A and B are shown apart, each in its own frame.
Chain A
């Protein structure tokens, strides 16, 4: 073997270990007996499912309502996905299919507002919700996640632009109303873009920490991100194996989704890059 290739393989293996190690270590820790952060054996000597069981069991000496958190996260992510996707589709469809007064100006406004990183207004959102006593409710979080979703409509608009207009014209001649055209012709054709947007909004809400920590105050209302952060913060690594089990359960749905759609994501990212 040529020396260049040998060195390359060594480097690749090294990077591979680096990429894999934290995840592998966490998964193995979640099956390890005891609660400590470090163990002399990388692979546990005795395997146990206790930590997974513990996550869903109430204990007197600590308060970790993991099942609550999971349920909250699921609720928030699902509802934000439904509302956010709907809003984004409606916006994109309106801009793609209709020519109305102020269309250009509004598209410019959407572009400019879209550049504004949402969490920079965290102060305002926090104070506004606080002033109106809306903090600590899941609905506040869901609305914050989905309200701005119209700003991300350009991908969907691009997709709608490619659906030929002759389809609608034919339907119109047959007497279909605008609503029928949207529901019966456009939506069934847009399954790929609906999948894409739903995936994005769902994972976005699932992994968000910034807004969740700002809005949700009491432990029963927390989502997984806030709960796990707090677990590390307040127990200071003393319940590591439990935390590891919690992490595995959070990461599994998202990680498998990402790995499954990996090729799709790659082409999406590069499409964005070549456009600039």
Chain B
């Protein structure tokens, strides 16, 4: 019964396109045969050396070679090129296998349709979504997936300045050495632990201050009897509307120790100015306060939105029962806000862990300290890895920090994802 399907399937498995020819789809079959020929050619000629390169990462650096009587400097293997080519070759291989499977499947379906005497024309819109998606898929593969793969690979090499930078030197696989260094080796682990501790302290403080600050400001505006609510809100939203890098750079000037207006005002009152950005303790205070200035408006907007969704009948019922204003606030407003914004806390926490702008633009991670390797007292893990990449070329360390951060953020996001689902199904308030 399924004679055609089986024959076409086997033929296609033997050589791409044969099944299609058997199904009398001549053009498609020919194209596929040519494609298969091309695939065989590349797999045999190119792929093995690329894949081998991925494993060895090159075995000759820049070296002297005898050319006639003279010794000449010859460029050696470029490990990073070899790594990239290797990864691309791996991806290509997977794509080939995928196409191969598709080809067999296609032959079988068409064969089956022949047996049933159905039309051989493919469905009209079968290709259109893929046409739409071609560009997005390439974009995501090259600029999102590829960098992630590349980062994960670099973390297991010794790609770093000064001794392992191609094309002058080779890069090698070193297994978990980088992570080992980060966790146990003297200065590196000191820096890592120090920076990580501050990252967490910062993320928790920044999240909590902005969150409760926002709730307070929103409640302040929303009180009964306050006039011009729209005006206040517009005024307070202003910091949020100014581009972050602009307001942060302005703040950096405001807090300037010698000439900044804030210290000048202090002096006008006979107080001594504070080293806002130059002392480890005050720098930490400054970044948290400035972050509030930027972050409170966001929470405020959210909470004000939620306040309008609280059903009025709850308050009316409370009035009937003779509840005081404080009791209404305590038992209706507050639980409602906390409940509705709880998932937000996690998002903001995750955002603050990676809050690059506030730290980098305000303090640049400083004040510097000799206890740390290439990091300052207010550096977060992200700003540290940024500096390691751009200024110090410590790519392997930067890569391993990226991976650790990513694992942490992913765990957070997944928990939140799962949580909010169960959260929705509970519908406790309504």
Q: Which residues of A does B touch, CB under 8 Å?
A: 2, 4-5, 8-9, 11-12, 15-16, 18-20, 22-23, 25-26, 36-38, 87, 90-91, 93-94, 97-98, 100, 110, 113, 115-128, 131, 143-144, 146-151, 178, 203, 206-207, 209-210, 213-214, 225, 228-229, 232-233, 237, 240, 243-244, 247, 250-251, 254-255, 258-259, 262, 265-267, 269-270, 273-276
Contact = CB atoms under 8 A, between A and B. Distances in A.
Given A2-B225, A178-B125, A258-B240, A126 B389 contact: yes
Nearest to A208: B245
Summarize A's interface: helix, strand, loop or mixed. Answer: helix
A214 B390 contact: yes
A131 B84 contact: yes
A131 B81 contact: yes
Given A116-B144, A143-B143, A128 B243 contact: no
Contacts of B354: 117, 119-120
A225 B245 contact: yes
Given A12-B221, A123-B398, A94 B232 contact: no
A76 to B, nearest CB: 14
A272 to B, nearest CB: 9
B129 A125 contact: no
Nearest to A267: B305
B395 A127 contact: yes
Nearest to B81: A131
Residue of B139, B256, B304, B399 ringed by the most chain A CB atoms within 10 A:
B139
Contact of A117 (B132, B260, B409, B420): B409
A25 B385 contact: no
B356 A210 contact: yes
Contact of A209 (B130, B145, B357): B357
Contacts of B385: 122-123
B360 to A, nearest CB: 8
10 contacts: A19-B236, A23-B238, A38-B259, A124-B147, A150-B139, A244-B250, A247-B246, A266-B304, A270-B302, A276-B416
Given A87-B135, A124-B151, A22 B251 contact: yes
Interface in B333-378: 340-341, 343-344, 354, 356-357, 360-361, 364
A262 B304 contact: no
Contacts of A16: 232, 235-236
A258 B239 CA distance: 11
Nearest to B244: A207
Contact of B256 (A8, A22, A37, A119): A37
B81 A12 contact: no
Contact of A94 (B132, B234, B340, B360): B132
Contacts of B341: 273
A11 B220 contact: yes
B305 A23 contact: no
Nearest to A146: B139
A98 B128 contact: yes
A254 B242 CA distance: 7
Nearest to A246: B246
A248 to B, nearest CB: 9
A248 B119 CA distance: 66
Interface string B229-263: 00010111111111111110111111010011100
Given A127-B154, A255-B243, A276-B416, 14 more contacts: A19-B235, A87-B135, A90-B135, A91-B132, A121-B402, A127-B150, A128-B150, A214-B386, A232-B249, A240-B253, A262-B241, A266-B301, A269-B298, A270-B302
Chain A to chain B: the 4 pairs with minimum beta-carbon distance, closest first: A270-B305, A276-B420, A124-B147, A121-B147
Nearest to A99: B129
Contacts of B146: 124, 128
B126 interface: yes
Interface residues of B, number: 95
Given A119-B382, A255-B241, A247 B259 contact: no
Contact of A255 (B235, B242, B259): B242
Given A269-B302, A270-B305, A100 B143 contact: no
A258 to B, nearest CB: 4
A251 B240 CA distance: 12
A269 B18 CA distance: 56
B142 interface: yes
Contacts of A258: 240-241
B176 interface: no
Contacts of B399: 123-124
A151 B144 contact: yes
A51 to B, nearest CB: 15
A210 B387 CA distance: 11
B245 A228 contact: yes
B144 A148 contact: yes
Interface in B168-212: none
A133 to B, nearest CB: 12
Contacts of B260: 37-38, 237
A120 B405 contact: yes
B133 A37 contact: no
Nearest to A26: B250
B264 A38 contact: yes
Interface string B376-406: 0000001001101110000100110010011
A15 to B, nearest CB: 6
Contacts of B395: 123, 127
B26 interface: no
Nearest to A87: B136
A19 B147 contact: no
B225 to A, nearest CB: 5
A258 B246 CA distance: 15
Interface string B403-425: 00110011001001000100110
A262 B143 contact: no
B293 interface: yes
